[in-house]
Amino acid sequence: MQQRSIASAAISVIHGAGLEGTRLRDVARAAHVTTGAVTHYFDGKEAVLEAALEEVVRRTLQRLGRGRHKPPKDVETFVAQACAHLPVDEASQMEWRVWLAFWGKAIADDRLRAIHRRYYEAFVEHVAHVLRALKPNTSSREALLTADAVIATLDGVGVRAILEPEHWPSKRQRQTATALLVPLLREFEGAKKV
Amino acid sequence: MQQRSIASAAISVIHGAGLEGTRLRDVARAAHVTTGAVTHYFDGKEAVLEAALEEVVRRTLQRLGRGRHKPPKDVETFVAQACAHLPVDEASQMEWRVWLAFWGKAIADDRLRAIHRRYYEAFVEHVAHVLRALKPNTSSREALLTADAVIATLDGVGVRAILEPEHWPSKRQRQTATALLVPLLREFEGAKKV
DNA sequence: TTTTTAAAATAATCACCGTTATGCCAAAAA
DNA sequence: TTTTTGGCATAACGGTGATTATTTTAAAAA
């Protein structure tokens, strides 16, 4: 159970110092242990970072799971739910920053790429599932394509919001995401009521 | 003029090894010089990396500049032009990978963040300009909002394509981007001709 | 041609940080 | 109580790579 708390500590260090600025000592200190404990539980720094990424994925997917019981019946609530995944508050901002920090590292690291792949797979599946609630008789292909589009929207807006937080308050994030998602989903629904 | 070639060398090293795996020696070797030359022209590693990022920005904006003379008159050609900015070929893939590699680092680095901000500023301005060609009487506000949405689309699809290149051939990239952009731009145009 | 200055190579240094080794302490087993 | 085991702290080690210093080479000026 210590592993979890060390991984969480790593997340907050990465959040504050970036991946490159993350030293094992600081992770240990943030977890209220010493480097001895860290190396006791992990095979090395890489393993610690990997665990941190996995922890972020876990949290995000868990949050998705909680939303599974209220499938949206109309476009507006769908968009509102989708926007909740943007970096609009402290907690999600932290996860976004860490998630984004690993993108660059994942480019040259098969192991991390695999984690990303798994995450997106689950995310796509979730969005496609929710889309089917919006339009019951949808081809799998159409649902998946639209899910990709929804996720691209969130990633695109999220990245921008993380890189320019002072210019991207939650309102602007929602506005931009809405501008993309509403027309997309109207098209998806088929019925365009002005 | 050596600075340029060292920066370019840095780009290709980052492309191959990722930011963390980039050693100054390798950059020097790729530029056919030694570390002595590198440190002669730059104040240190940070400066070299910063120059690499600037070089990527330069190339991208230059490419944008070339497209400035053929403003699209309809949605289809606009989308086609936009999709040309996705990582659909070797060259643009390299630039995307490097660009993306710096996102994580920029989180904790004001200097790099400033570069990103400048780039997006120019990019937004360009897209908004092109949008005005599509719909002459557009409010500045509407054009900027739509430009943000277009850029978010490209970033969102681009990220995915970089992280999962084997699953995101150019065709899928275009498909996803089109699914988002066409409805968005029809809405933007105002006139929806089915 | 000599002198001078700049460009870049080569070689040495130095700091940083991950890793490894050792030792201690507490809790469970004997 | 003694013994033992495992969880962790402390501290020393060592590699890696950036930085700095020195030297060589080449080009330009005198």
Domain range summary for chain B, segments of one domain joined by +: 1-54, 70-194
CB contact under 8 A, A104 and B103: yes
The average pLDDT across A75-96 equals 96
Domain A1-55: CATH superfamily, name plus number: Homeodomain-like (1.10.10.60)
CATH number 3.30.470.20 given to B70-194: no
The average pLDDT across A83-100 equals 96
The average pLDDT across A115-127 equals 97
Q: Residue A65 pLDDT > 50, yes or no?
A: yes
Q: What is the reported pLDDT for B142?
A: 95
Q: Residue A194 pLDDT > 70, yes or no?
A: no
Please, which pLDDT band fits residue B192 given cuts at 50, 70 and 90? very low
Q: Residue B191 pLDDT > 60, yes or no?
A: no
> Of A136, A60, A123, which is closest to residue A96 (Cα–Cα)?
A60
Q: Residue A128 pLDDT > 60, yes or no?
A: yes
Task: Please count the other Cβ atoms lying within 10 Å of the Cβ belonging to residue B164.
Answer: 16
- Whether B70-194 and B1-54 are alike in CATH topology: the answer is no
Q: Which CATH class is domain B1-54?
A: mainly alpha
The nucleotide closest to A31 (CA, C1' atoms): D8
As a whole number, the mean pLDDT across chain B is 94
CA of residue B77 to C1' of nucleotide C1, angstroms: 68
Q: What is the reported pLDDT for B61?
A: 94
> Of B109, B94, B136, which is closest to residue B50 (Cα–Cα)?
B109
Q: Residue B193 pLDDT > 50, yes or no?
A: no
Best of A144, A163, A178 to substitute, by most chain B Cβ atoms within 10 angstroms, is A163
> Of B15, B23, B19, B12, which is closest to residue B106 (Cα–Cα)?
B19
Please, which pLDDT band fits residue A37 given cuts at 50, 70 and 90? very high
**Rama region for B88: left / alpha / beta (φ>0; ψ in -120 to 50; rest):** alpha
Q: Residue A22 pLDDT > 80, yes or no?
A: yes
Q: What is the reported pLDDT for B141?
A: 95
Q: Report whether A94 contacts A12 (CB < 8 A).
A: yes
In this predicted model, what pLDDT tens digit does every residue of B49-101 receive, in sequence order? 999 999 999 999 999 988 777 889 899 999 999 999 999 999 999 999 999 99
In this predicted model, what pLDDT tens digit does every residue of A155-186 receive, in sequence order? 999 999 999 999 999 999 999 999 999 999 99
Of the candidates A19, A146, A177, the beta carbon closest to that of B104 is on A19
Q: What is the reported pLDDT for B79?
A: 97
Q: What is the reported pLDDT for A2?
A: 86
> Of A79, A111, A102, which is closest to residue A178 (Cα–Cα)?
A79
* B146 has a chain A CB within 8 A of its CB: yes
Q: Residue A192 pLDDT > 60, yes or no?
A: no
